[in-house]
Amino acid sequence: MAESGGANRFARLEALFDEALALPDSARGSFLDRLRVEDAELAAELSRLIEQELALQSSGTDAAFGSFERRLQAVLPTAVHPGAMLGPYQVITELGAGGMGRVYKAQRRDGDLLQTVAIKLLRPELLDQSLLQRFSNERRLLAQLSHPGICRFIDVGSHADGAPFVVMELVEGQPLLAWCDRQRLDLTARLKLFRQVLAAVSHAHQHLIIHRDLKSSNILVDAQGYTRLLDFGIAKTLAPDEVKQTATQDRFLSLANAAPEQLRGERLTVACDIYALGTILYELLCGVPPFDLDGLSAGAIENQILTPPPAAMTRRMDAGDGTELASRRGLPSRQVLAQRLRGDLERIVQQCLRKDPSERYASVELLDEDIEAWLQQRPIRAARGQRWYVLRKFVARNRAASLLSLALFVGLLLTVAIVVAQNAAAVRERDRAEEALAILREAFLSADPARVGGEELSVGEVLSSAESALSERANDQPALYASLTGTLAEVRLRLGQNRVSAELYDRAVQAAQRAGLPAEEIHALRLQQARAWFAADDRERGDAVLVVARTSPLATGPEMDVVEGIARIEARAYAEGIEHFRAAIEGLRSRGADDDWSYTARLRLADALVSNGQFADGEVALREAIAWQRESLGAEHPRVALTELRLVAMLQGTQRGEEAIDLARQVHERILDVFGELSPVTAKAALVRGNGLTYQGRYAESAIHYRQAAGILNRHLGEGHINSLYAGYNLAVALSQDAQTRPEAIEQLTRTLALAEVQLGLDSNAVSLFRSALGEMLIDAARPEEALLLLASSAHRRALERDNNPNRDYGLQLLRAPTLRAPCEVGRPSAEISTACASAQALLGDLADVDD
Amino acid sequence: MSSSANVDITNLLSRWRQGEPGVEDRLAAHIYPVLKELASRQIRRNAGYITVRPTALVSDAYERIAEQKSVDWQNRGHFYAIAATVLRRVLVDQLRQQQSLKRGGDLAFVELEAAEAEPGSNDDATVDWLALDQALNQLADEDASAARLVELRLFSGLSVEEIAEVQGQSLSTIARQWRFARAWLSSHLGDAPLHG
């Protein structure tokens, strides 16, 4: 054969190859035989190639080529025109096309009855006798599927050219996602709808049929709002003898919802439906599918599905317009949506999307149970066995009542966070550590938003140990150190440990600079740093930090206004401070009430107005803050109650004292409902309510509330805690107003004083107040010797000699009381009394020129 | 790489697309050093048993070149197509060099974690790349277009649609061509069936 014939010969070989493969297996032998007569060499080569091709076809997994061919077949078109007949059905119009084939609306006239159906015509290149056979086999099974949520299977048949088709009930409706968005369904409504889908899938699973191609476009919502599942056409029974038929079937699955094992050609179980349900749920909740597959090649898509765990929903959400996503879910902002998705919903979704089928929910029912649990705010299964998770639930339910658990929890989280952050390769674990930290922050803030708990010893201990563990990483992992230390500093600030917090922020900022973190992050830390120094009453350092912050190119945001405002208030430039807070509130308007900056700006504005003598404006500002919180958090939210307590405190001691009492009662009752009788938050409400009654002179009533507060605080914080001591003092003062309860008051205050002397120091300001008050009660109770010994004690004297003691006047006034001198003026006082009398005299003499 | 060289690339790409003879070599001259550097870095890291992700290399090379912001994104497909040819050359060069260093010329394997490869099948996805190169050359002698398709398929990371566009052929032609090329290469690679 001539050289030039080479190319022709090769082209002929290619053509013969196609021709032979198009023949049924049985006809191929005689085709080759005929060729062999004409050109034995060519026939031999063709035979070899066909053998090779058949071997490749039957090799199942097909290695690298599988997906490529899938893609090729997916783009090859097929069409049937309206009017054409598919078996006894006449095509009316095309409804859509997918990876599996095209769908037509068709009808069949059966006597007078006109039956309208949907027909799915499979791609002819998928034409395969076994496929049709399988459909026939499954027909009986599919017919068993009788569930309101599943579109009814009617028949299978084959088109004139041999293409198989499936006849199904025609369902009119909108695809699930589009419907939810259009209806602006909130998360709860979406989840309820999703449970309908789960019920349908569960029904199929009970009949040993898995769907294998679940996707949101396969789920329609009808006019009545019920979901209908389409396309159980490629359903596969779970019977074991059918298991091997995966390779060919999977050619038409939808990659966006396909489970890893489907791409790997492995045995499929209900787990692949769970995975697909997870992808649907993911998008239903956050508006974005788990993986961004747009524009990726088939291989890259497979890699996405097989390798990386899906990003958290809140992170993927950033790809879209957050505000729009939130608004389609009836929520005010992206932040609120993110907050609701974080935690349990994320865990449920991730549990569906595990790469390893055995790590997913074992059944649709279990998934459904978790969603139900979420809807009822119970712990979910996906988190079972996670200690920190259970603790978090506990904390959430018991709020501030569980500070001790919280301490353990914090310790655990930080240990986990530090350990796993060392292993940067474990991306999933690191994400989890980040999540753990986010939870830590959230738990702290929600546990004690009002700081009523104050410093609880074990929390402090745990934080300290975490801080020292962290300090070891300051040099080798400055970025990690900066972010964790920043979190700890925030926690300290919330607990009112302002100086510790400020010092931590100092270190966090330094580390952030060393680590070369982005300017925004450093600036954000610095603003907190300034705020912490102001809170710690160190204006000089606060101002110094602020001066640096002002040099940042980012120094114009609303957060900056908050800090500037605080600095102005510290400098008593109230009017300027007020301007800054107003600007900040305006700039932060889009944020939810869970945003700390926004909340701070509003509270500080109210305080600043009152400080500036604009009492009425202050009240308006505080009421606006409450309305804003209610709108965003709901009227029942504990934080709303805590802000209302501030309003109560503002009204107390004014002419509207009765109004304050009334409001305090409402808030107190609501807090009791939410937090229970034993929470420090309830104690705070009781204290505020008691104060209101005290201001109005209704001591008997205030004693009741003080007693409740003292009981709770003693129990949770210990009797020696400053808050417990103040509650005890208030209780004693209220009781002392009535001669009948005065002995109890004296007993109470004696005890409080003894504890305070130990906890706060013998000559501290608070102790001198308690001592003066006890002295006054003793005088009133006609026990002047005891009063004298107390009020003339050297510790009390030391306290009164201090210039900065705000209770000095009160103490001196008592010393001058004539009844106190009575024991000194009797005939022969004891040595002890004489010393006391001399001491009191000396004190009054020393201070005579200063006071009075 | 100087910016004038990159202006050239855009220009060359559009001329190459119009089928101007000789342009491909000039383009390759631009891309070759970048790809070579990237590939040897990868190979160095995995001395002996070489793991190369061709499509990753190509996209790295593209980014490296596109970084100079002169390569038009619209030409990405064409760039990848050219790079596929170059990458094949780079890899084969590297392998030859490596083999010449090895006593007895033990086979060096490229583990092809090609973009389309199913990672689950990586264990047996080793290819005697030099043999494949040889077979591809033979195929190119008979049907250049089919050989080119295989090259694009294995090295470019382009999607099926993009390959069809670059090749100027319909999808169905490509599907048929692919099926044939695959069988042909498999039979010419003897005992080492082409798993990719």
Question: Mean per-residue pLDDT for A837-845?
Answer: 83
Put simply, whether A10 touches B (Cβ < 8 Å) is yes
Confidence tier at A590 by pLDDT (50, 70, 90): confident
Put simply, whether B121 touches A (Cβ < 8 Å) is yes
A595 catalytic per annotation? no
What does the pLDDT read at residue B184?
86
User: Would the CB atoms of B118 and A264 count as touching at under 8 Å?
Assistant: yes
Put simply, whether A162 touches B (Cβ < 8 Å) is no
What does the pLDDT read at residue A282?
94
What does the pLDDT read at residue A7?
67
User: Would the CB atoms of B187 and A65 count as touching at under 8 Å?
Assistant: no
What does the pLDDT read at residue B95?
66
What does the pLDDT read at residue B153?
78
Tens-digit pLDDT profile for residues A638-685: 678 878 888 888 887 777 888 889 999 988 888 787 666 777 678 888
Chain A residue numbers with beta carbons less than 8 Å from the beta carbon of B188 are none
Chain B residue numbers with beta carbons less than 8 Å from the beta carbon of A68 are 116, 153, 160, 178
What does the pLDDT read at residue A503?
92
Angle between helices A5-22 and A25-38 (to 10 degrees): 150
Chain A residue numbers with beta carbons less than 8 Å from the beta carbon of B124 are 63
Confidence tier at A494 by pLDDT (50, 70, 90): low
Tens-digit pLDDT profile for residues A232-245: 655 444 433 333 33
Between A and B, how many residue pairs show a Cβ–Cβ distance under 8 A? Answer: 120
Confidence tier at B137 by pLDDT (50, 70, 90): confident
Q: Report the alpha-carbon distance of residue B194 to residue B129 in Å, rounded.
A: 10
Q: Report the alpha-carbon distance of residue A759 to residue A770 in Å, rounded.
A: 13
The residue that leads in pLDDT, B112 or B37, is: B37
What does the pLDDT read at residue A428?
40
B residues 147-186 closer than 8 Å to A (CB): 153, 157-162, 171-172, 174-180, 182-184, 186
**CB-nearest partner of A72 from B120, B121, B175:** B175
What does the pLDDT read at residue B127?
52
Nearest CA in chain A to B120: A264
Please state the ipTM of this predicted complex: 0.72
User: Would the CB atoms of B118 and A14 count as touching at under 8 Å?
Assistant: no
Nearest CA in chain B to A263: B118
Residue A527 has pLDDT above 90, yes or no: yes
A4, A52, A67, A263: best to mutate for the B interface, most B CBs within 10 A: A52
Put simply, whether A56 touches B (Cβ < 8 Å) is yes
The residue that leads in pLDDT, A224 or A82, is: A224
Tens-digit pLDDT profile for residues A257-280: 788 887 776 777 889 899 999 999
Residues B104-114, buried b or exposed e (16+ Cβ, 10 A)? Answer: eeeebbbbbbb
What does the pLDDT read at residue A223?
86
User: Would the CB atoms of B187 and A52 count as touching at under 8 Å?
Assistant: yes
Residue A335 has pLDDT above 60, yes or no: yes
Put simply, whether A805 touches B (Cβ < 8 Å) is no
Residue A443 has pLDDT above 50, yes or no: no
**CB-nearest partner of B176 from A10, A18, A303:** A18
User: Would the CB atoms of A63 and B159 count as touching at under 8 Å?
Assistant: no
Nearest CA in chain B to A297: B159
What does the pLDDT read at residue A713?
81
Q: Name the E strands within B67-137.
A: 110-112, 126-127
CB count in 10 Å sphere of residue A543 = 15
Q: Report the alpha-carbon distance of residue A153 to residue A141 in Å, rounded.
A: 10
User: Would the CB atoms of A63 and B125 count as touching at under 8 Å?
Assistant: yes
User: Would the CB atoms of A10 and B142 count as touching at under 8 Å?
Assistant: yes
Chain B residue numbers with beta carbons less than 8 Å from the beta carbon of A299 are 55, 114-117, 157
Tens-digit pLDDT profile for residues A720-762: 777 788 889 999 999 999 999 999 999 999 999 999 888 778 8
Tens-digit pLDDT profile for residues A368-396: 999 998 888 776 766 543 433 433 443 44
Residue A489 has pLDDT above 90, yes or no: no
Helix then strand count (H, E) for chain B reads 8, 3
The residue that leads in pLDDT, A594 or A813, is: A813
Nearest CA in chain A to B139: A10
User: ∠B79-B142-A76 over CA atoms, to 5°?
Assistant: 60
C-beta contacts of A659-667 below 8 A and 24+ residues apart:
A660/A692, A660/A695, A661/A689, A661/A692, A661/A693, A661/A696, A661/A698, A664/A688, A664/A689, A664/A692, A665/A689, A667/A641
Residue A851 has pLDDT above 50, yes or no: no
A42, A49, A61, A126: best to mutate for the B interface, most B CBs within 10 A: A49
Helix then strand count (H, E) for chain A reads 40, 11
**CB-nearest partner of B116 from A53, A61, A68:** A68
User: Would the CB atoms of A297 and B120 count as touching at under 8 Å?
Assistant: no
User: Would the CB atoms of A18 and B186 count as touching at under 8 Å?
Assistant: no
Report whether B155 contacts B84 (CB < 8 A).
yes
Tens-digit pLDDT profile for residues A824-834: 887 777 888 88
Query: How close B63 comes to chain A (CA, Å)?
Result: 16
Confidence tier at A429 by pLDDT (50, 70, 90): very low
Q: Percent of chain B, pLDDT > 70?
A: 46
Residue A193 has pLDDT above 90, yes or no: yes
For β-strands A236-237 and A227-229, DSSP reports them as: unpaired
Tens-digit pLDDT profile for residues B7-27: 566 677 777 666 677 777 777
Q: Out of A231-240, A378-387, A547-556, B40-49, which region has the weakest mean confidence (pLDDT)? A: A231-240
User: Would the CB atoms of A72 and B143 count as touching at under 8 Å?
Assistant: no
Query: How close B178 comes to chain A (CA, Å)?
Result: 9
What does the pLDDT read at residue A583?
94
Put simply, whether B59 touches A (Cβ < 8 Å) is no
B174, B179, B195: best to mutate for the A interface, most A CBs within 10 A: B179
Residue A601 has pLDDT above 90, yes or no: yes
Cα atoms in the Cβ-side hemisphere of radius 13 Å centred on A540: 0
What does the pLDDT read at residue B120?
30
Question: Mean per-residue pLDDT for B72-84?
Answer: 66
The residue that leads in pLDDT, A13 or B162, is: A13
What does the pLDDT read at residue B55?
62
**CB-nearest partner of B175 from A51, A53, A76:** A76
Residue A565 has pLDDT above 90, yes or no: yes
B116, B171, B176: best to mutate for the A interface, most A CBs within 10 A: B116
What does the pLDDT read at residue B100?
55
Q: Report the alpha-carbon distance of residue A346 to residue A382 in Å, rounded.
A: 10
CB count in 10 Å sphere of residue A92 = 16
Chain A residue numbers with beta carbons less than 8 Å from the beta carbon of B112 are 64
Put simply, whether A390 touches B (Cβ < 8 Å) is no
Chain A residue numbers with beta carbons less than 8 Å from the beta carbon of B178 are 68-69, 72
Question: Mean per-residue pLDDT for A217-241?
Answer: 70
- Quick one: tokens of A580? 């800054």
Tens-digit pLDDT profile for residues A793-820: 888 888 888 877 777 788 888 888 888 8
For residue B150, which of A661, A423, A68, A826 has the smallest C-alpha distance?
A68
Query: How close B103 comes to chain A (CA, Å)?
Result: 32
What does the pLDDT read at residue A412?
47
Question: Mean per-residue pLDDT for A353-375?
Answer: 88
For residue A155, what is the enclosing H or E element?
strand A153-158
Chain A residue numbers with beta carbons less than 8 Å from the beta carbon of B196 are 63-65
Nearest CA in chain A to B196: A64
Confidence tier at A227 by pLDDT (50, 70, 90): very high
**CB-nearest partner of B153 from A10, A63, A68:** A68
What does the pLDDT read at residue A20?
84
Report whether A658 contacts A696 (CB < 8 A).
yes
Which entry of A155, A181, A213, A763 is annotated as an active-site residue? A213
User: Would the CB atoms of A73 and B175 count as touching at under 8 Å?
Assistant: yes
Question: Mean per-residue pLDDT for B148-171?
Answer: 78
Residue A706 has pLDDT above 50, yes or no: yes
Residue A2 has pLDDT above 60, yes or no: no
What does the pLDDT read at residue A217?
80
Tens-digit pLDDT profile for residues A99-152: 556 788 898 877 777 888 888 776 554 444 555 565 665 566 667 778 889 888
Burial class of residue A468 in the structure, from the number of CB atoms within 10 Å of its CB (0-12 exposed, 13-18 middle, 19+ buried): exposed
Confidence tier at A367 by pLDDT (50, 70, 90): very high
Total residues belonging to chain A? 852
The residue that leads in pLDDT, A458 or A42, is: A42
